[in-house]
Amino acid sequence: MKEGPDIARIGTLIGDPARANMLTALMGGQALTATELAQAGGVTLQTASSHLSKLEDGGLISQRKQGRHRYFTLADGAAGTLLENIMGFAASRGHLRHQPGPKDPALRKARICYDHLAGDYGVRMLDSFVSRGVIRTDGENLMVTEQGRADIGQIGIDVAPLVSSRRPLCKSCLDWSERRSHLAGTLGKALLSHFLEKGWARRSSESRAVLFTPEGERKFLSLFPLERPSPEP
């Protein structure tokens, strides 16, 4: 038997279409019941229970009980990052499932990736931070600068308690629709929570889309400007 991590097992768990759809549903960061996940996977409740048991045993999801109900979530941020990276890889190789409709542009514009902002707005936020020196890049590694801490504080977010977490403060996460990186980590989570708490945006009840209000969008674009190249004469 070969030694090392068993990627075949993880690949098998994620590779089943029903389980893949159930995991994608959990990318919204919300706890869902087995019934809700059965609907997402297009399978019966009995079959869903079998799938969920395998996913939990494989370390991809976790569950908690509340009264008579059981709720399932992704196991942690690492599981969410893994799924988003696989989505990005699949999109970059042309492996896409397209269902045209109003959700598609909304998901591409702004959506929840486990607990942080993804899509065009998620990428824009990271690009703006980098261009203004708030975040410094070293390959795929991201670091908040000293000036950046002050700038983030002006937004209304204290960086200090975010650093004490076991999770990284800021992390690069490959965006499947933009095929570039957006901002994950505890800072990414805090920023998304800030936008929702301020009423700038709300979560869609039908998908992972994050819907900005007109005023919220104006404030977001003002807060995260991007320098555009000057047109050639």
Element (H, E) at 137: strand 135-138
The reported pLDDT for the residue numbered 21 is 93
pLDDT tens for 44-56 read 999 999 999 999 9
- pLDDT per position as a tens digit, 86-98: 887 887 787 777 5
The model's pTM is 0.75
Q: What percent of the chain has pLDDT over 90?
A: 62
Residue 172 falls inside a structural domain? yes
- Is residue 140 one of the residues assigned to a domain? yes
Beta strand 181-184 pairing with 201-203: unpaired
Which CATH number covers residue 70? Answer: 1.10.10.10
Yes or no: say if 201 and 110 are a contact pair by the CB < 8 Å rule.
Answer: yes
Which residue range(s) make up the domain with 28?
A: 7-75
Maximum pairwise Cα distance, the chain: 69
Last residue in a domain, options 20, 42, 75: 75
In a domain, 80, yes or no: no
Same domain, 112 and 219: yes
**Angstrom distance (rounded) from CA 76 to CA 60:** 8
Q: Give how far the C-alpha of residue 37 lies from the chain's centroid of Cα atoms, to the nearest Å.
A: 18
How much is the pLDDT for 37? 95
The rounded mean pLDDT for the chain is 88
**Residue 228: is its pLDDT beyond 70?**
no
In this model, does residue 102 exceed pLDDT 70?
no
Residue 44 CA to residue 216 CA, distance in Å, equals: 40
pLDDT digits (tens, 9 = 90+) for 152-211: 999 999 999 998 767 889 988 888 788 788 999 999 999 999 999 999 999 998 888 999
CB 188 within 8 A of CB 116: yes
